[in-house]
């Protein structure tokens, strides 16, 4: 089987407005250009896979079922190929209180997707707005892209030396 290229996308600050914790569908504010960007990624033959830390579940702010509903909505709205999420946090409630392997900057979500979809690492990207996204992408061997459309870029993100820096997903699409 020929390996496919993928663009891994953080959620908040990349596909939708960074708002701290989004705990209900109504609060999810998808960027107006996001759908077209995913369409263009597909035209260029990339899989579009969202990888998101959602510790609000471990923090008891939202149920995992609600998160799954939000993910399904996001997937349908944007026609994403998959959404991977980490509901954990080391200091959390019940089964979610875990020092897991999936919370970015750990690479568990990327590793799982790479295996499931047969992804060619060298031609794939990790796109995010935080240091944890950049480090995670680098550890997995992906090209990393830092966007300024979410969490404030303070300098640490730049020290990590992302492969590219753009204003938002739209600008990334012009350069891929």
Give me the active site residues, please. 10, 12
Residue 8 C-beta: closest distance to Zn ion, Å: 16
107 vs 168 by CB, closer to Zn ion: 107
Site residues for Zn ion per CB under 5 A: 86, 88, 100, 102-103
Min dist CB 63 to Zn ion, Å, is 16
Token pair 């480090």 is found at: 135
Residue 85: CB minimum distance to Zn ion, A: 8
Name which of 47 and 86 has its Cβ closer to Zn ion: 86
For Zn ion, give the closer residue by CB, 88 or 143.
Answer: 88
């Amino acid at each position: 089987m020929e390996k496919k290229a993928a663009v891994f996308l953080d959620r908040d600050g990349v596909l939708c407005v960074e708002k701290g914790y989004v705990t209900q569908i109504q609060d999810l504010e998808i960027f107006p250009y996001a759908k077209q960007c995913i369409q263009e990624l597909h035209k260029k033959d990339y899989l579009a896979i969202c990888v998101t830390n959602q510790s609000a579940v471990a923090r008891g702010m939202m149920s995992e079922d609600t998160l799954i509903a939000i993910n399904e909505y996001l997937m349908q709205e944007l026609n994403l190929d998959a959404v991977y999420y980490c509901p954990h946090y080391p200091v959390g409630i019940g089964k979610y209180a875990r020092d897991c392997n999936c919370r970015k900057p750990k690479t568990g979500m990327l590793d799982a997707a790479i295996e499931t979809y047969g992804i060619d690492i060298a031609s794939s990207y990790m796109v995010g707005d935080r240091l944890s996204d950049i480090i995670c992408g680098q550890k997995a061997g992906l090209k990393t892209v830092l966007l300024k459309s979410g969490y404030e870029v303070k300098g640490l993100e730049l020290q990590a030396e992302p492969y590219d820096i753009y204003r938002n997903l739209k600008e990334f699409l012009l350069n891929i």
